[in-house]
Structures are given as structure tokens and as C-alpha cells.
Amino acid sequence: MKNIAVLLGDGCGPEIIQQAIRVLDKVSSVYNLNFKYNYASIGGRSYDETGLPLTEKTIQTCLSSDAVLLGAVGDWKYDSLSPELRPEKALLGIRKKLNLFANLRPVKIFDELLNTSPLKPEIARDVDIMIVRELTGDVYFGEPKGIIKKTTLDNREIKVGFNNMIYDEDEIARIAHVAFKSAQKRKKRVCCVDKANVLDVSRLFREITTEVSKEYNDVELSYMYVDNCAMQLIQNPRQFDVILTGNIFGDILSDEASTICGSLGMLPSASLSDGKTPFMYEPIHGSAPDLAGKNAVNPIATILSVAMMLNYSFNEKLAHDAIYRAVKDVLKEGYRTRDIYQKDLKQELCSTSKITDLIIEKIV
């Protein structure tokens, strides 16, 4: 039996996780797998219960499990809390505590959603990109940081805010290895995305990535500035296989890339460590507090995150494929949640639980 730590989170987190667990239960019965779920609180929910967004108890539950499944964190009602107590802090905290330095965000469009993509079908067709985003460094964690006071030349006291974009060689090398290994299983191309024309930290990122690439002769390495990449993702997204990038650029580019697939609600993610701590799986979207509790959000990103878990943490490729196929079949038959629904195409609008029922039916 394998243990999965389940962190429901805030907003729509609990409902998408509930549906993803139903899918996991079905796939477990079909493929004879055995999982035990260990529920723990994170984010605003944890703050309400304990006064802290991330507790030692939750960290221990995760560390003692074989994998972690997370919904989403955040709600406007916590916006006035100090930065240390905000739900987002818990997400960064758990990524750091579990040493989840490699975030894999597959951007793969289902043919069935070509009409939903804001890009022309001939541009969006067959897009299949793996964004490898570094997850425990960069401006997200760099020191020094803060908001302090300074006195101007004309003697006024004003505030100044700063964060530090910082990477050391080891951090760059380990994420580069993940990108090259991932490319070896794909189309064998890595594009290193940075801002090396301006930033010293990006120049080091390129230099170390280039060094690491020498160990992967079968993989072709190219470089692109992040502003250009933002443009190329819209103009010609098919040119990319693996995108290797830092934390903040990866955050921004993955949201952008997700819309190619029709909706932010479609994209799963896996966050990997060096193997000594469990991996974590979460949709790339947020907690959508305005939609929470209405049985209206798209659970597919979380369902596909469970599929990634079966693949990366439990090596259950067949179970992974079964979920992916079921999602595809349901889309093919025209069932859609609101975010991917187009009335004029005679599709059937589904609730969160209804589309999950249909996906579950297809797993046999």
C-alpha cells in the first residue's frame, strides 16, 4: 500500500481534489492499486485552524507519505494578512521543505479543444511542450528581500521594495539535468529561456546549462530570451520541445502557454525532488474563490495531475494512460465544463462532478 498526503487547500481546492480522488479510486480498482489518503491542511484553511498557513504536522504528513496531492491555495479574505501568514507562503514553504526544485508543466493540447484555443487551430495543433521550471530558487526565495525606508537626496523618507534574483551553479545544474533527461524521452530538444542580455544571473544560467549539455550529446540545446519566448509561444508554439527556465519566468510562461490548450483549467503539474523526499502534484491554476462551491470548475487539471503522479511516483504507466484516454474520450463526445464550453458547437455543459462521472465511466 502507498500513502498519499492530500492537501485540499482553499477556494475550489477541496472540490477538485474530491473529484480527482474519485478518479484515482476507480483507476485503483481497475489496475489493482492500493492507496491510503492522509489528509492535512494547508493555506488559508490551515491558518483558520491553527493560526499558521503551514504547520509542522502537515510537513511531517507529507514527508512520511509516498506522494503529495495538492488542490490550490489562496483566498481574497486573507489578502490583508502579513506576507508570512498568507496562503501562498505555505505553498512556497512546502515546495522548499520537500526540496521540490523541478516543476514539470506539460503543455499538450487535446485535438478536441483546438476550437477552444485562442490561437488558430493550425497554430495550436499538436502543441506538446514540457516546461521545466526551477521551483525553489530565484526571486521567490532570494535574500536579501523586503520593503525598507530610505531617505532621498531632497530629504524625503520613501519606501523601497526589493527581491533578489539569485541562482548558484549547483541549483542551475540540477534543474538542467532534469530538462535534458526529460528531453531524451521526448523530441530531444531543450530551449534555455532567460534574460542573458541583461541579467548576470541569466548569464550564469546559460553558462552552466551549456556545460551540463555536454553530457547529453543526443539533445540539441538552444537559447531564447524570455520576452522573445513569450512572443514565440503565441506565434509558433510547435517549435518548442522542452523549455528550461527559472522560477519566475516559468511561472509566467506556463500561465501563458496554458491558454494554448484552451484553458488554465486543463494543465497539470508535477514537482520533483532528488528522490529523497516525496514528489508533489497540483494543477497549475489557482483556487478561484469566486467559483468555489458551485460545482462549476474544471477538475481536469487535477485529474491529469493524479495521472502524472501514477507515472512519476508509482511507475504505473498504464493507469496514467487510462486516465489520459478517458479525459480525451469525454472531450471527444462533446462534454465540457464552463471554461471550455462553446454553445454554438452543440456541446454539453457539465458540472465539476458530472464531467468526473463521465471520465470515471470511461476507465475500464
Residue of 75, 78, 138, 140 marked catalytic: 140
Do residues 4 and 53 touch, judged by C-beta distance below 8 A?
A: no
Is residue 251 annotated as part of the catalytic site, yes or no? yes
Residue whose grid cell is 545544474: 173
Whether the CB-CB separation of 205 and 174 falls below 8 Å is answered with no
Out of 25, 128, 255, 329, the active site residue is: 255
Among Mg ion, ligand IPM, none, the one that 88 touches (CB under a kind-dependent 5 to 8 A) is ligand IPM
State the distance between the two ends of the chain, measured CA to CA, in whole angstroms. 22
Shorter beta-carbon distance to ligand IPM: residue 88 or 329: 88
Sequence-ordered strand ranges (E) for the chain: 2-9, 35-40, 67-72, 102-108, 128-134, 146-151, 157-162, 189-194, 220-225, 242-245, 270-272, 279-281, 335-336, 348-349
Q: 90 or 322: whose CB is closer to ligand IPM? A: 90
When CB distances to ligand IPM are compared, the closest residue is 88
Which segment (87-95, 220-228, 248-256, 264-272) binds Mg ion by CB under 5 A? 248-256
Q: Footprint of ligand IPM on this chain (CB under 6 A)?
A: 88, 91, 251, 284, 286
- Catalytic: 26? no
User: Which residue among 134, 138, 194, 251 contacts Mg ion (CB under 5 A)?
Assistant: 251
> Is 255 among the catalytic positions?
yes
Give min distance, CB of 362 to Mg ion, in A.
Answer: 30
Least distance (Å) from ligand IPM to the CB of residue 299?
17
Distance CA(334)–CA(341), nearest Å, equals 9
CA distance 331 to 337: 10
Of ligand IPM, Mg ion, none, which one sits near residue 9, judging by CB under 5 to 8 A according to partner kind? none
* Cβ proximity to Mg ion, 103 vs 347, nearer residue: 103
CB-based contact 36:3 (threshold 8 Å): yes
Beta carbon of residue 305, minimum distance to Mg ion (angstroms, whole number):
14
Catalytic residue, candidates 195, 328, 354, 362: 195
d(C-alpha 38, C-alpha 350), whole Å: 29
What is the C-alpha separation between 81 and 90, in angstroms, rounded?
13
Which residues on adjacent β-strands are paired with residue 130?
Answer: 106, 242
User: What values do phi and psi take at 114, rounded to 5?
Assistant: -55, -35
Which residue is catalytic, options 10, 241, 251, 339?
251
State in angstroms the smallest separation of the CB of 271 from ligand IPM.
9
CB of 210 to ligand IPM, least distance (A): 27
Active site residues: 140, 195, 227, 251, 255
Residues that bind Mg ion (CB under 5 A): 251
